[in-house]
């Protein structure tokens, strides 16, 4: 149901109307910003129809709704995505051209909404788009951060953070809903009134709703992303003000202003910060109050809630939903405790996204009890109930242990389904993270392998390849991605393979131009583009990549006349501001880049680029141009990965370990189309038992010794030769992520990549097979899994 009625003159009229009457600008002197606003409003108008229709149908048919609670929605830019899904992109390009405007420049004028750190936040955004495409009635609930993830710059190779300010310019996609506001309490006391516990908060803020419609493929359905902004309940405390205590009088305003001010940028280590707990409760309480209000509009039996409401917790960040729902049901609606608990459980699902112990949320009971005194009581009651109900529960298992509230255990116990995000990860949750709870609740832990939306990550970001696909197998693959399998017979034809190569070449040329203008680096578009983009983490092993790059450079220098395959090594990603080791790795990559890139001897064979401030928009530019996808985490550490799926879809074979969803990518694409290397998750555990594992691995590898020696000697930092002594020492003696142990295998796999790439026809076959077999990784498939296994929701389409 593309909006075929809309003609070019209609669209142009709509744009001019908005330019004139919404923006108050004359076309004569409108800026790119003005045109972007005018076009966005004109496009937004076309979403409102399907949005109202979807909402009305959901009400009329009394459909069950999904509520996706997430502290992060990494949505990126919205204009082109909306154009693509409404089938209006070509028309919009033409309209803007008629106005003398360049569509790409207008699209790029939009700030990249970075309301998330990485994988978890982007997954939430892909899910929103898939739910709209499938017609799954759903609301996303999140926080309207004034400042998204920090911007990254490099100063002399160091990461420097600056605040992000996407909301400084008008955000044309949202509708403010001042009428949908809720009071959120913190602190205070719990009073017993006539045998009932009543929470009397010491501080309050208002949560105010901002709605962004999310339209699915072909505009058949649209859902709402509802983000909460904090407002003071009272402007100031008049009593204190009158006493002359002006600073204290402004406290309510200060709390509100800080609550939704900034996204926490640390996705590495959890640090029990009170403000973070307040943000989590703010989101969760506002969402639950909104859910109950909507439910009670046309139902009166609160006990039937699970028949109409499914609530998904994106990691433990909204895990306070369990106790809060119990509180609302008991204190607010007079439901008895155990019944309230069972209602909450039947509504709630919990998705785990990490096994890293340092990232698991735990709150000191002191902090938790201080910020949420009533919830502390409820948590203790849940824990006691669970212990009672499951006699065989070992003494060391529980929600409250060692003066801490463990959010993983709380989420697990309060959910009817707990899921991991890849087959391997879900097994490891059972085996290592929650073995005892798994025994007590067999069948509760399930798997829902992640996916990505092919509309944004193929149709929108890679037009040359999308057009080739449509020319080859017809349309309709965008919302039925398994149809990409129909490409397979064509892969046998040289004509198709060459066309596939030509599409990739267009993307590589475009990226090369961008790298020249944005980073001042010139690269050869016919070289292999080898890309590793993701947050910088030790377990993701960007260090392994740069060490191997140094070895490769060294090998070229020792045999400059050899038949080397030219490579461009592309890195991208941010480190958490306080993660010193990750920042050191960034510095090393930049240092190595400046030495290697100025080496005349290797200039045509190896270039290293690290464009700063990797974000969704940069991913849309880099991934379609990639030849090789680096997915090299220490096995057992990457829960799933979703970048790996985007590269595969865009025809870049993976060099990777048996980790996360790589396992399933390998299974789908076949061994011959994947560069597999490295220890398995089991072998990793075994290897660590030997305290000298890294030392032994280094002693057995001359190339690795040479690399470490070059770094230690200061080859890449002549002005401060001891800069990386600590780093080298850690590789020798404290190599927890087994960089040294996997080095030789990685290097051998890279040599195999070179051989494959040198055989153009072999390479194109592999690349095309990756696209053809990527259908499984559509987030539509993932969402259908949740709808069936977790939410029991039917699609409306």
Structure token digits, residue 395: 């003494």
Concatenate the DSSP letters of all residues of 595-613 into one string. HHHT-TTTTTTEEEE--SS
Backbone angles phi, psi at 142, to 5 degrees: -150, -165
CB of 195 to ligand 26V, least distance (A): 38
User: Cα separation of 400 and 383, whole Å?
Assistant: 7
- DSSP strand E in 95-174: where? 113-115, 138-143, 151-155, 158-162
Tell me how far the alpha carbon of residue 168 is from its chain's centroid: 23
User: Cα separation of 283 and 667, whole Å?
Assistant: 39
User: Cα separation of 84 and 125, whole Å?
Assistant: 16
Structure token digits, residue 272: 């029990």
**Given the residues 151, 353, 425, 456, the one annotated as active site:** 353
**Residues within window 649-688 making contact with ligand 26V, judged by CB under 6 A:** 660
Tell me how far the alpha carbon of residue 286 is from its chain's centroid: 23
118 interacts with ligand 26V by CB under 6 A? yes
Total number of residues that touch ligand 26V (CB under 6 A): 22
**Given the residues 18, 144, 535, 765, the one annotated as active site:** 535
Which range binds ligand 26V by CB under 6 A, 87-95, 353-361, 408-416, 525-533?
A: 353-361
**Which C-beta is closer to ligand 26V: that of 579 or that of 763?**
579
Q: What share of the chain is helix, strand, coil (3-state, %, to 5)?
A: 55, 15, 30
> Reduced to 3 states, what is the DSSP secondary structure of residue 455?
helix
Structure token digits, residue 559: 């045999």
Q: What is the DSSP letter of 228?
A: E
289 interacts with ligand 26V by CB under 6 A? no
Pick from 18, 64, 226, 353 the residue near ligand 26V by CB under 6 A: 353
**Given the residues 459, 646, 723, 747, the one annotated as active site:** 646
**Given the residues 417, 534, 567, 574, the one annotated as active site:** 534
Concatenate the DSSP letters of all residues of 409-439 into one string. HHHHHH-SEEEESSHHHHHHIIIIISHHHHH
**Residues within window 120-139 making contact with ligand 26V, judged by CB under 6 A:** 120, 123
**Which C-beta is closer to ligand 26V: that of 149 or that of 697?**
149
450 interacts with ligand 26V by CB under 6 A? yes
Structure token digits, residue 167: 């909301």
Pick from 85, 117, 453, 617 the residue near ligand 26V by CB under 6 A: 117
Helices (runs of H) and strands (runs of E) counted in the chain: 35, 24
CB of 637 to ligand 26V, least distance (A): 8
> Reduced to 3 states, what is the DSSP secondary structure of residue 32?
helix
641 interacts with ligand 26V by CB under 6 A? yes
CB of 656 to ligand 26V, least distance (A): 13
User: Cα separation of 209 and 175, whole Å?
Assistant: 9
- Active-site residue flag, 353: yes
Structure token digits, residue 221: 């359905």
Structure token digits, residue 300: 């009166």
User: Cα separation of 402 and 375, whole Å?
Assistant: 18
Which range binds ligand 26V by CB under 6 A, 87-95, 106-114, 264-272, 512-520?
A: 264-272
CB of 667 to ligand 26V, least distance (A): 17
Distances (CA, A) of 247 to 203, 241, 243, 257, 597: 16, 8, 11, 14, 55
638 interacts with ligand 26V by CB under 6 A? yes
Which range binds ligand 26V by CB under 6 A, 35-43, 114-122, 585-593, 662-670?
A: 114-122
Residue 567's DSSP bridge partners are 528, 606
CB of 117 to ligand 26V, least distance (A): 5
270 interacts with ligand 26V by CB under 6 A? yes
User: Cα separation of 133 and 419, whole Å?
Assistant: 23
**Which C-beta is closer to ligand 26V: that of 340 or that of 681?**
681
Do 281 and 368 contact (CB within 8 A), yes or no?
no
**Which C-beta is closer to ligand 26V: that of 118 or that of 148?**
118
> Reduced to 3 states, what is the DSSP secondary structure of residue 2?
coil
Backbone angles phi, psi at 109, to 5 degrees: -75, -20
119 interacts with ligand 26V by CB under 6 A? yes
Please classify residue 396 by burial: count the beta carbons closer than 10 Å to its beta carbon, then call 0-12 exposed, 13-18 middle and 19+ buried. Answer: exposed
354 interacts with ligand 26V by CB under 6 A? yes
CB of 212 to ligand 26V, least distance (A): 21
> Reduced to 3 states, what is the DSSP secondary structure of residue 484?
helix
420 interacts with ligand 26V by CB under 6 A? no
Structure token digits, residue 282: 């703010």
**Which C-beta is closer to ligand 26V: that of 266 or that of 789?**
266
Which range binds ligand 26V by CB under 6 A, 113-121, 467-475, 584-592, 785-793?
A: 113-121
Concatenate the DSSP letters of all residues of 644-697 into one string. HHHHHHTT--EEE-S-TTHHHHHHHH-GGGSEE-S--HHHHHHHHTSTTHHHHH
User: Cα separation of 137 and 794, whole Å?
Assistant: 9
Pick from 67, 264, 368, 743 the residue near ligand 26V by CB under 6 A: 264
Residue, CB closest to ligand 26V: 119
**Given the residues 453, 602, 642, 771, the one annotated as active site:** 642
CB of 273 to ligand 26V, least distance (A): 9
- Active-site residue flag, 540: yes
**Which C-beta is closer to ligand 26V: that of 143 or that of 639?**
639
Do 774 and 645 contact (CB within 8 A), yes or no?
yes
CB of 120 to ligand 26V, least distance (A): 3
**Residues within window 512-551 making contact with ligand 26V, judged by CB under 6 A:** none
CB of 447 to ligand 26V, least distance (A): 12
Residue 175's DSSP bridge partners are 211
∠679-680-681 over CA atoms, to 5°? 120
Which range binds ligand 26V by CB under 6 A, 13-21, 97-105, 115-123, 683-691?
A: 115-123
- Active-site residue flag, 534: yes
- Active-site residue flag, 220: no
Which range binds ligand 26V by CB under 6 A, 588-596, 639-647, 711-719, 766-774?
A: 639-647
437 interacts with ligand 26V by CB under 6 A? no
Helix axes 739-758, 542-558, angle to 10 degrees: 60
Structure token digits, residue 359: 């990232």
CB of 475 to ligand 26V, least distance (A): 29
**Which C-beta is closer to ligand 26V: that of 572 or that of 641?**
641
CB of 421 to ligand 26V, least distance (A): 4
- Active-site residue flag, 696: no
Backbone angles phi, psi at 190, to 5 degrees: -110, 125
CB of 736 to ligand 26V, least distance (A): 17
- Active-site residue flag, 330: no
Tell me how far the alpha carbon of residue 724 is from its chain's centroid: 31
457 interacts with ligand 26V by CB under 6 A? no
CB of 149 to ligand 26V, least distance (A): 11
Pick from 267, 290, 591, 735 the residue near ligand 26V by CB under 6 A: 267
38 interacts with ligand 26V by CB under 6 A? no
User: Cα separation of 343 and 259, whole Å?
Assistant: 30
Which range binds ligand 26V by CB under 6 A, 159-167, 320-328, 505-513, 635-643?
A: 635-643
642 interacts with ligand 26V by CB under 6 A? yes
636 interacts with ligand 26V by CB under 6 A? no
779 interacts with ligand 26V by CB under 6 A? no
Whole-angstrom Cα Rg for the chain:
27
Pick from 16, 359, 521, 555 the residue near ligand 26V by CB under 6 A: 359
**Given the residues 65, 362, 540, 541, the one annotated as active site:** 540
Give the active site residues: 353, 534-535, 540, 642, 646
Return residues touching ligand 26V (CB under 6 A). Answer: 117-120, 123, 264, 266-267, 270, 315, 353-354, 359, 361, 421, 450, 638-642, 660
């Amino acid at each position: 149901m593309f909006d075929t009625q809309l003609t070019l003159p209609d669209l142009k009229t709509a744009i001019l109307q908005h330019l004139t009457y919404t923006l108050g600008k004359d076309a004569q002197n409108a800026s790119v910003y003005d045109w972007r606003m005018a076009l966005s409003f004109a496009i937004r108008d076309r979403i409102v129809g399907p949005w109202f229709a979807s909402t009305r149908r959901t009400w009329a048919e009394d459909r069950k709704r999904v509520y996706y609670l997430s502290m992060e929605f990494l949505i990126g830019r919205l204009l082109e995505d909306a154009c693509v899904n409404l089938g209006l992109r070509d028309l919009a390009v033409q309209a803007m051209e008629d106005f003398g405007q360049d569509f790409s420049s207008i699209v790029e004028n939009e700030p990249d909404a970075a309301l998330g750190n990485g994988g978890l936040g982007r997954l939430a955004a892909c899910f929103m788009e898939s739910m709209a495409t499938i017609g799954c009635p759903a609301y996303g609930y999140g926080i309207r951060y004034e400042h998204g993830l920090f911007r990254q710059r490099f100063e002399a190779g160091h990461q420097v953070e600056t605040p992000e300010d996407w909301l400084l310019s008008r955000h044309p996609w949202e509708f403010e809903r001042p009428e949908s506001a809720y009071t959120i309490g913190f602190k205070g006391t719990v009073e017993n009134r006539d045998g009932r516990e009543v929470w009397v908060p010491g501080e309050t803020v208002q949560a105010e709703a901002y709605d962004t419609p999310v339209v699915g493929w072909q505009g058949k359905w649209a859902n709402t992303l509802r983000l909460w902004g904090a407002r003071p309940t009272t402007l100031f405390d008049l009593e204190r003000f009158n006493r002359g205590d002006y600073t204290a009088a402004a406290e309510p305003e200060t709390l509100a202003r800080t609550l939704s001010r900034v996204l926490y940028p640390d996705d590495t280590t959890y640090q029990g910060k009170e403000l973070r707990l307040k943000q989590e409760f703010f989101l969760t309480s506002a969402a639950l109050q909104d859910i109950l209000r909507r439910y009670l509009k046309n139902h009166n039996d609160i006990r039937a809630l699970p028949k109409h409401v499914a609530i998904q917790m994106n990691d433990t960040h909204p895990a306070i939903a369990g106790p809060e729902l119990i509180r609302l049901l008991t204190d607010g609606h007079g439901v008895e405790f155990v019944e309230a608990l069972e209602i909450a459980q039947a509504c709630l699902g919990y998705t785990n996204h990490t096994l890293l112990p340092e990232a698991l949320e735990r709150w000191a009971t002191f902090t938790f009890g201080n910020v949420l005194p009533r919830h502390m009581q409820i948590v203790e009651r849940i824990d006691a109930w669970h212990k009672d109900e499951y006699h065989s529960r070992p003494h060391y298992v529980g929600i409250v242990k060692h003066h801490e509230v463990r959010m993983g255990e709380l989420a697990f116990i309060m959910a009817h389904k707990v899921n991991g995000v890849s087959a391997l990860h879900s097994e490891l949750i059972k085996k290592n993270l929650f073995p005892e709870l798994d025994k007590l609740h067999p069948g509760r832990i399930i798997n829902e392998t992640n996916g990505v939306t092919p509309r944004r990550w193929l149709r929108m970001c890679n037009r040359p390849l999308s057009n080739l696909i449509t020319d080859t197998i017809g349309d309709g693959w965008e919302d039925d991605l398994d149809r990409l399998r129909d490409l397979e017979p064509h892969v046998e034809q040289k004509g198709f393979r060459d066309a596939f190569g030509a599409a990739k070449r267009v993307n590589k040329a475009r990226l090369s131009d961008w790298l020249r203008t944005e980073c001042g680096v010139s690269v050869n578009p016919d070289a292999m583009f080898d890309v590793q983009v993701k947050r910088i983490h030790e377990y993701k092993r960007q260090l392994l990549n740069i060490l191997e790059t140094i070895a490769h450079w060294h090998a070229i220098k020792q045999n400059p006349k050899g038949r080397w395959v030219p490579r461009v090594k592309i890195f991208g990603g941010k480190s958490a501001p306080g993660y010193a080791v990750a920042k050191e790795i960034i510095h090393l990559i930049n240092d190595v880049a400046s030495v290697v890139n100025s080496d005349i001897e290797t200039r045509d064979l190896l270039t290293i680029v690290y464009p700063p401030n990797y974000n969704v928009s940069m991913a849309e530019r880099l991934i379609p141009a990639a030849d090789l996808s680096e997915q090299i985490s220490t096995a057992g550490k990457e829960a799933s990965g979703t970048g790996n799926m985007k590269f595969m879809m865009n025809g870049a074979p993976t060099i990777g370990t048996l980790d996360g969803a790589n396992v399933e990518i390998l299974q789908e694409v076949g061994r011959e189309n994947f560069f597999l290397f490295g220890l398995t998750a089991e072998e990793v555990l075994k290897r660590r038992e030997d305290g000298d594992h890294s030392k032994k691995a280094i002693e057995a590898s001359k190339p690795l010794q040479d690399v470490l020696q070059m770094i230690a000697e200061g080859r890449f930092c002549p002005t401060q030769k001891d800069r990386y002594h600590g780093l080298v020492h850690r590789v020798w003696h404290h190599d927890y992520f087994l960089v040294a142990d996997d080095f030789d295998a990685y290097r051998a796999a890279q040599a195999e990549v070179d051989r494959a790439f040198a055989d153009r026809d072999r390479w194109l076959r592999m690349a095309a097979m990756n696209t053809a077999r990527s259908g499984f990784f559509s987030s539509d498939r993932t969402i259908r899994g949740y709808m069936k296994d977790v939410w029991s929701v039917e699609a409306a389409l």
